[in-house]
Amino acid sequence: MAQEEPQGEGGPERARKEGIMSTPICEIPKNSREAIKFSLGEFKGHRFIDMRVYVQEEGKDQAPTKKGLAVSPALWPEFRKALAQVEEAMVREGWLDREDLEGQG
């Protein structure tokens, strides 16, 4: 199981001061310097699902960027429905083949 660690804009030190706790779930490489990280977070008693771009600077740890999205657990069912609609549109428009989705999810 992933260990909970403070995260947030400005890195772990600032996050610790602000009381942001984050449990890393997974990450997807975006390019040679960036990754999209998914985590469960909590700030001042509010929980959220965080999807954020992290950048790897030479000689430094990965750091979060402002590029990202935090979704409330209450909105998660609607968010999933919206993603399904986007997925269907990508297949319909020929951006993605249905075979690419087999075995996913």
What residue numbers bound the domain in which 95 lies?
Answer: 73-105
Considering the domain architecture, whether residues 80 and 99 belong to the same structural domain is answered as yes
Q: Is 75 left (phi over 0), alpha (psi -120 to 50) or beta?
A: alpha
Where residue 50 falls among pLDDT bands split at 50, 70, 90?
very high
Contact 35, 20 (CB under 8 A): no
> What CATH number is associated with residue 63?
2.30.31
Considering the domain architecture, whether residues 65 and 30 belong to the same structural domain is answered as yes
The more confident residue out of 6 and 95 is: 95
Residue 2, pLDDT above cutoff 90: no
